Chains A and B, each alone.
Chain A
Amino acid sequence: MFVTSAFAEEAAPAVEGGNTGTEGATQSSTGVPAKAPGTFPPFDPATFPSQLLWLAITFGLFYLFLKKVVMPRVGGIIDVRNDRITQDLDHAARLKGEADAAVAAYEQELAEAKTRANAIGQQANDAAKAEAETARKKIEAALDQKLGEAEARISSIKANAMKEVGTIAEDTASAIVEALVGGKASKAEIAAAVKSVAR
């Protein structure tokens, strides 16, 4: 039964709320004073001046407080944070730039050192090669010289030997002739005979 009464009470203001325009008219025409039974409280004009006054006072103070105190503070906090973030980002970017430059410098130095090392290696290689070449040439020259000398000696010995071969042949021929024939052949004849045979 309470339920039904609640519904009934709700239904009445719902109808009132439906025609807002006629509300004021009926109020003024009937001249119902404040707190009249059946007046829907939100539409009771008797409360309007008080509500408007206190709304103006409270909202006005609230507006001033927010404008003068709260908003500069919150805005300041956010600005400081944004500044700090951009500052930190700048700092990070600068550090990154420095790091990149250091890496680049390092790599350049590394490349230079490599080329220098290559050049030194090449130089050493070339010098060693040249030294080896000269040493080889010197030894070759010495060997050639010795070879020449040896050949010369051999040829001279050979010539001597050949020369002696003639006289030995002549001697032997004269001895053989003497022994076989028993006479002496002239030296010139033997020599001519040996020469002809030798040919």
Chain B
Amino acid sequence: MTADKVDPIHQFNIVKLIPINIGGYDLSFTNSALFMVATVAVASAFLYLSTSSRSLIPGRLQSVSEMAYEFVGNMLRDAAGTQGMKFFPFVFSLFMFVLVANLLGLFPYFFTVTSHIIVTFGLAALVIGTVVVYGFMKHGLGFLKLFVPHGVPVYLLPLVVLIEVISFVSRPVSLSVRLFANMLAGHITLKVFSGFVVSLSALGAVGVAGSVLPLAMAVALTALELLVAFLQAYVFAVLTCMYLNDALHPGH
């Protein structure tokens, strides 16, 4: 039982809460799904309730909602111009979803949705899918100019196009792995240092005294993870904006 408590991987286990099996696929409502619902519920409730008074002079919570809104809005406008604002709801949803999922994961015993690569990959695939579909819809085959930069000598073109294609294909991978790896590594480190505290304390008075160090480390790491939670949501949103800019203006 104690081994379970110190096991840093245990927190990533998926537990079926309501088993659902359709067509041979396991579509159970799991703890991961529960925390997705929680993420959406918390984010929606916060945004909805904090702005419900529609005050001309915002209170603290309304300020937070407005700041998030304008933060993402400015980010998208800077990266993709005013044409990019049609993707504002999409980017804002992504940012809020990732941010709230990351922050919720910081609570002890809470599951971190974004620490599973399939979730981050799903979001990244959604972004790249949007870019590809919108790019071809808007520019037709002209979207392929994305892979042909201007001013490259003809004899270098095959190589450059190959590199561009590889970099484009690696985007969903890097986008998803970055978020996933950050959350995973952070939570493992936190768990390991917290585990030190428990195991050292079991060794008696000297151990209890010694456990102060990993405890301080765990506190500092929690602060760092708070920063990482925000930063990764920001990075995810910024990169989404830049990829959407490629869909809007493929000619570099």
Binding partners A and B? yes
Binding site for B on A (CB under 8 A): 1-3, 5-7, 9-10, 13, 17, 20, 34, 40-44, 46-56, 58-59, 61-63, 65-67, 69-71, 73-78, 80-81, 84
A-B contact pairs, 24 of them (CB 8 A): A17-B181, A40-B9, A41-B9, A41-B12, A41-B116, A42-B117, A42-B118, A47-B30, A50-B25, A50-B27, A54-B32, A58-B36, A59-B97, A62-B43, A62-B97, A67-B93, A70-B44, A70-B47, A70-B51, A74-B51, A74-B69, A77-B54, A77-B62, A78-B70
Closest Cβ of chain A to B128, distance in Å, is 15
Instruction: Tell me the nearest residue of chain A to B16, going by C-beta.
Output: A50
Name the B residues within 8 Å of A58 (CB-CB): 33, 36-37, 39-40
Q: Once the chains are docked, how many angstroms separate the CA of A183 from the CA of B198? A: 184
Instruction: Tell me the nearest residue of chain B to A53, going by C-beta.
Output: B27
Closest Cβ of chain B to A91, distance in Å, is 15
Contact status A62-B40, CB under 8 Å: yes
Contact status B8-A9, CB under 8 Å: yes
Name the A residues within 8 Å of B20 (CB-CB): 50
Binding site for A on B (CB under 8 A): 2-3, 6-9, 12-14, 20, 25-30, 32-33, 36-37, 39-40, 43-44, 47-48, 51, 54-56, 58, 62, 65-66, 69-70, 88-90, 92-93, 96-97, 115-119, 122-123, 126, 177, 180-181, 184, 188, 192, 195-196, 198-200, 202
Query: Residue B65 contacts which of A43, A49, A74 (CB distance < 8 angstroms)?
Result: A74
Instruction: Tell me the nearest residue of chain B to A58, going by C-beta.
Output: B36
Closest Cβ of chain B to A38, distance in Å, is 10
Instruction: Tell me the nearest residue of chain B to A2, going by C-beta.
Output: B199
Contact status B89-A67, CB under 8 Å: yes
Name the B residues within 8 Å of A10 (CB-CB): 8-9, 188, 192
Contact status B92-A5, CB under 8 Å: no
Q: A59-B40, A62-B44, A65-B44 are in contact. List 20 more A-B contacts (CB 8 A).
A: A6-B7, A9-B8, A9-B9, A42-B115, A42-B180, A47-B116, A49-B26, A49-B27, A50-B14, A50-B27, A51-B30, A51-B119, A52-B122, A59-B123, A62-B43, A66-B89, A67-B93, A70-B44, A77-B62, A78-B69
Contact status A62-B93, CB under 8 Å: yes
Name the B residues within 8 Å of A74 (CB-CB): 47, 51, 65-66, 69
Instruction: Tell me the nearest residue of chain A to B7, going by C-beta.
Output: A9
Name the A residues within 8 Å of B96 (CB-CB): 62, 66
Number of A-B contacts (CB under 8 A): 160
Q: Once the chains are docked, how many angstroms separate the CA of A43 from the CA of B118? A: 8
The CB with the most chain A CB atoms within 10 A, among B9, B65, B66, B70, is that of: B9
Closest Cβ of chain A to B127, distance in Å, is 12
Please classify the interface of chain A as helix (H, G, I), strand (E, B), loop, or mixed, using the class held by over half of its residues: helix
Closest Cβ of chain A to B44, distance in Å, is 5
Query: Residue A6 contacts which of B43, B48, B122, B192 (CB distance < 8 angstroms)?
Result: B192
Name the B residues within 8 Å of A1 (CB-CB): 199
Contact status B8-A6, CB under 8 Å: yes
Closest 3 CB pairs of A and B: A54-B33, A67-B89, A2-B199
Q: Once the chains are docked, how many angstroms separate the CA of A69 from the CA of B8? A: 40
Name the B residues within 8 Å of A62 (CB-CB): 39-40, 43-44, 93, 96-97
Query: Residue A73 contacts which of B51, B88, B90 (CB distance < 8 angstroms)?
Result: B51
Contact status A50-B28, CB under 8 Å: yes
Q: Once the chains are docked, how many angstroms separate the CA of A13 from the CA of B181? A: 12
Instruction: Tell me the nearest residue of chain A to B68, going by C-beta.
Output: A74
Contact status B69-A71, CB under 8 Å: yes
Closest Cβ of chain B to A17, distance in Å, is 7
Q: Once the chains are docked, how many angstroms separate the CA of A63 from the CA of B199? A: 44
Q: Once the chains are docked, how many angstroms separate the CA of A40 from the CA of B115? A: 12
The CB with the most chain B CB atoms within 10 A, among A9, A56, A70, A80, is that of: A70
Given contacts A70-B47, A71-B69, contact A20 B27 (CB under 8 A): no
Name the A residues within 8 Å of B2 (CB-CB): 2
Q: Once the chains are docked, how many angstroms separate the CA of A51 from the CA of B196? A: 32
Query: Residue A76 contacts which of B14, B39, B54, B196 (CB distance < 8 angstroms)?
Result: B54
Given contacts A61-B40, A75-B69, contact A49 B25 (CB under 8 A): yes
The CB with the most chain B CB atoms within 10 A, among A13, A51, A75, is that of: A51
